[in-house]
Amino acid sequence: MMGEPLLELRDVTKIFKIGGGLGLLGGRIIRAVDSVSFTLPSDESSIVALVGESGSGKTTIAKIILGLLEATSGEVLYKGRSVSEWIKKDKIGYFKEVQPIFQDPYGIYNPIYRIDRVLGIIIKKFNLASSKSEARDLIIKAMKDLGLRPEDLLGRYPHQLSGGERQRFMLTRILLIKPRLIIADEPVSMIDVSLRAIFLNQLASLKDKLGASCLYITHDLNIASYIADRIIVLCHGRIVEDGPKAEIIKDPLHPYTKTLLDAIPTPNPRQRWKEIADLTKIESFRKLKAEEGCIFSARCPYAKEICKAKVPPFVEVKPGRKVACFLYA
């Protein structure tokens, strides 16, 4: 990796306090994100999947990168500059570079305005066009680039669009703004399978069209393995493994990654699960998370003494492959 990274997270931690009203009830502390560090390189565009189960902190990380939440400690740098400061000083400038796509394709639209307005506002805010007709031409070109039919969509209200159309219409926004980095948080979880593929292919095509990188946040390893170049695996707020997609799928190192890969249902009836999951071992989230040492040690089949006492260092074990596990440290 050469030069300054595009995005860099350094020891990012986010702590939420739950309960404990008036300081009488004690409350509980949740480390949603725990010392997370990773970088996206700037010299090549790639799609990096951040994979984790519910409660793994993946959405919290997205929100911190987008300045919607502040990290309790640690730093997020975009092109070497602190994101929170950048947003404070020049919000438009930052979001010209970094654009989100959220999970809920319904929440973005104001139901009483036509969908065109979403793009109209963006063109104005980001100063993308000098006249109305220029703005319209830009929108139509962007939509056609995505295979959307402007004559079918423009002038309609949000409720007249399907989830898939709404989400693809959001890609038009990306195409207009031409960001360098897209933060996509479970963008297809509310889209039907038949339209999901279209969305995923178009998102992937932005890598070539715009030279944009994408941090793709998902719980679905089938999708991650389809779309991503690199996979980062999160477990209870910590990164346990990071490496090229093909290698992680073929040869997962961390026992948690193995567990996840073993559990994904393969959409092929000839490749059914080999082992039966031990139902007595699948318990509640709180009990699953080890309080000390390696976060996965409570349910790791390879756990040793040291795993319960110390946090394993996150180290590079092969070129490009990092893992936090004492099996490799």
Query: How many other C-beta atoms can be found within 10 angstroms of the C-beta atom of residue 206?
Result: 22
Region of 14-22, 175-183, 258-266, 301-309 interacting with other proteins (CB under 8 A): 258-266
- The minimum distance between CB 252 and other proteins, in angstroms, equals 12
When asked if residue 199 is in the footprint of other proteins (CB under 8 A), the reply is: yes
When asked if residue 279 is in the footprint of other proteins (CB under 8 A), the reply is: yes
When asked if residue 315 is in the footprint of other proteins (CB under 8 A), the reply is: no
Burial 289-313 (b: 16+ CB within 10 A, else e): bbeebbbbbbbbeebeeebeeebbe
Burial 9-40 (b: 16+ CB within 10 A, else e): beebbbeeeeeeeeeeeeeeebbbbbbbebbb
Interface positions, 149-188, toward other proteins (CB under 8 A): 162, 164-165
Query: Residue 74, exposed/middle/buried by CB under 10 A (0-12, 13-18, 19+)?
Result: middle
- The minimum distance between CB 223 and other proteins, in angstroms, equals 5
When asked if residue 268 is in the footprint of other proteins (CB under 8 A), the reply is: yes
How big is the site for other proteins, counted in residues (CB under 8 A)?
Answer: 45
Contact letters (x/-) for other proteins, 207-236, by CB under 8 A?
Answer: ------------x-xxx-xxx---------
When asked if residue 46 is in the footprint of other proteins (CB under 8 A), the reply is: no
**Which residue carries 């393995």 as its tokens?**
225
CA dihedral 33, 35, 41, 47 (to 10 degrees): -30
> For binding to other proteins (CB under 8 A), which residues are involved?
53-54, 162, 164-165, 192-201, 219, 221-223, 225-227, 249, 259-260, 262-270, 272-273, 276-280, 282-285
